[in-house]
């Protein structure tokens, strides 16, 4: 068996254990993760090869195995980094909604998520596919959904206390359902190319659906306690 074949079949026992300790090691590992991201975006997960990842990083295949046990391990790190990007706070310099109304805040959140999803659409497509059979990647996807759902649930409860949102709405169910709507819409539109939409219009329409589902008025009036629920 050749050295290359042996390396493919039996990576070093301690590869990927504990992480690099030196600055050079940290930088090399980061190069491999960035190279893996590029290869997975280009080739998908199933056809991506460790040899191509190492070559893209300007390193040997042996160097790859010094930091990672397998293609699956490095993909999981790439996927986790992307999920963290989706849930990260607004980028520095991002402007707050001019009127600060609930609809404007919802619109800004929808825009930020869709922009970040769109900017990594090819990678998100691979993540969505792998999440269907890899428990680790699926857990990262679920964690992202839970992050948005928990944040949305807190916001809905606050709006209900302020008399802005319909108090008959169950905050937990609404947060899960509306979050799933945006997430699935992003996949159908930006990954699968189900239909073509104008980006700004898509953000606006999703925001209208969110606000209407919660019973939020188009233009909040100062001191108003929100519209009364029918019946």
Average pLDDT over residues 136-153: 95
Choose among 148, 77, 82, 151: nearest CA to 116: 82
CA 164 to chain centre: 29
Question: pLDDT tens digits, residue range 42-60?
Answer: 999 999 999 999 999 999 9
Torsion of CA 135, 137, 139, 141, to 10 degrees: -140
Domains of the chain: 3-69 (1.10.10.60), 85-214 (1.10.357.10)
Q: d(Cα 113, Cα 152) in Å, to the nearest integer? A: 13
What's the pLDDT tens digit per position in 146-194? 999 999 999 999 999 999 999 999 999 999 999 999 999 999 999 999 9
List the one residue out of 122, 123, 158, 128 whose CA is nearest residue 140: 128
Least confident of 3-17, 87-101, 136-150, 213-227: 3-17
20 against 103, higher pLDDT: 103
pLDDT at 23 (0 to 100): 87
pLDDT at 231: 31
Report which of 40, 64, 38, 42 is spatially closest to residue 51, judged by C-alpha positions.
64
Average pLDDT, the chain: 87
pLDDT at 93: 62
State the average pLDDT over residues 129-141.
Answer: 95
Higher pLDDT: 224 or 162? It is: 162
Pull the structure tokens for residue 136.
Answer: 């680790």
Q: What token pair was written down for 2?
A: 């050749």
Looking at the predicted structure, is the pLDDT value of residue 127 above 90? yes
pTM: 0.81
pLDDT score of 7: 37
- pLDDT given at position 100: 81
Tell me how far apart the terminal alpha carbons of the chain are, to the nearest angstrom.
77
């Amino acid at each position: 068996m050749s050295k290359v074949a042996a390396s493919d079949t039996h990576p070093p026992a301690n590869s990927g254990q504990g992480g690099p300790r030196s600055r050079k090691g940290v930088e090399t590992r980061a190069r491999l993760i960035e190279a893996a991201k590029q290869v997975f975006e280009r080739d998908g997960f199933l056809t991506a090869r460790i040899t191509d990842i190492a070559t893209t990083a300007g390193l040997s295949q042996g160097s790859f195995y010094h930091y990672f046990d397998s293609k699956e391990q490095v993909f999981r790190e790439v996927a986790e980094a992307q999920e963290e990007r989706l849930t990260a706070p607004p980028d520095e310099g991002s402007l707050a909604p001019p009127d600060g109304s609930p609809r404007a805040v919802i619109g800004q959140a929808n825009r930020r998520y869709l922009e970040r999803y769109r900017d990594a659409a090819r990678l998100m497509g691979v993540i969505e596919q792998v999440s269907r059979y890899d428990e680790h990647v699926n857990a990262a996807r679920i964690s992202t959904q839970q992050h948005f759902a928990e944040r949305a649930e807190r916001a809905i409860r606050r709006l209900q206390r302020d008399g802005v949102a319909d108090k008959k709405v169950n905050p937990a169910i609404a947060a899960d359902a509306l979050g799933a709507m945006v997430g699935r819409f992003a996949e159908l539109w930006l990954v699968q190319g189900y239909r073509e939409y104008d980006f700004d219009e898509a953000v606006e329409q999703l925001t209208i659906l969110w606000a209407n589902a919660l019973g939020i008025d188009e233009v909040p009036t100062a001191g108003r306690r929100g519209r009364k629920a029918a019946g």
